[in-house]
A = this chain, B = another copy of it.
Amino acid sequence: MDFKPLSGREFPRFSGIKTFFRLPHAPLDADYDVGILGVPFDGGVSYRPGARFAPSRIREMSSLGRTYHWSREDHWANRLKVADIGDVSTVPLSIEQTYKKIEATVLPLVQKKKKILSVGGDHSTTLPLLRSFGKVHGPLRLIHFDAHLDTYPAAWDCEYHHGAFLRHAIEEGLVKEVVQFGIRGPLVSKEDLDFATKHKFKIFTMDNIRNTHLNEVLKTIPAFDATPTYITFDVDALDPAFAPGTGTPVPGGLTSYEAQRILRELQIPNFIGGDVVEVCPASDSSDITSLFAMDVLFEYLGMC
């Protein structure tokens, strides 16, 4: 297996079986450096469902993906063995079973030091991913793009849902440091902020990001040490104009360029994995949200 994307000059980009970046579909135990994994589950959402279709739709749109990163001057496909390792076999009716299946799939791969980029699914799917990475790499730094804090308590007696993954990740000791981008109100109440305050989140709210020129903001991002670092990108960090295809959109968010630039400027000595979540194709407009999700994966590949 050569781990190269199918060339658009060999097969036009609209053709062929659709995999992430037109990469070969490899079995879980193949010899790749980076595996891109679908996690089609949306049983954790509180409003619009549909993210279960995101892996398939992002595969489709990632046909437009390219391999050379102009700013990084990096050609990932020449440097890394990357594969589409398929989807986790999820259970649409049970978050508990799905959590077990995600961890059962991902933990062994992390133990083999694979880098895993996953494509949700709703944000509840990040917890079992963090469990897999946390168990192997110790407590992690989490870089978190989102409109929401995701530190919410249980809802309707359900401990796990898409607004609570970060609270659990911290309570379970998987994550020790959090940097957030894109967070904004309105909130349910002032107390929403308590958890973040207590755990010393570094939050770049939309106001923080827009109060001066972006280049100035970028200079304030902390220099990261070698703590194993995971990035989770909820596309609702973007403004609904840039990411209409999501379940709980919030006006006043990032532009696609801002997100790209922040991702590009992050200096992460020890990047272990990442995900892009909460793409809801049924609410998208001309697939621009899926297209952007592909771009997040492209930035991750530059960090691998």
Q: Could you tell me which A residues sit within 8 Å of B by CB distance?
A: 8-19, 25, 38, 40, 42-50, 52-53, 55-56, 59-60, 63-71, 73, 75, 84, 86-95, 97, 155-158, 160-161, 184-190, 192, 205-207, 210-215, 239-242, 244-245, 248-253, 255-257, 260-261, 282-286, 288, 291-292, 295, 298
Contact = CB atoms under 8 A, between A and B. Distances in A.
A49 B63 CA distance: 15
B288 A249 contact: yes
B87 A240 contact: no
Dominant secondary structure at the A interface: loop
16 contacts: A9-B156, A12-B46, A12-B92, A14-B52, A18-B18, A48-B50, A49-B52, A64-B250, A67-B186, A70-B185, A70-B205, A239-B256, A241-B255, A249-B286, A251-B256, A251-B292
B46 A15 contact: no
B50 A282 contact: yes
A94 to B, nearest CB: 6
B184 A8 contact: no
B15 A90 contact: yes
A103 B25 CA distance: 27
B38 A94 contact: no
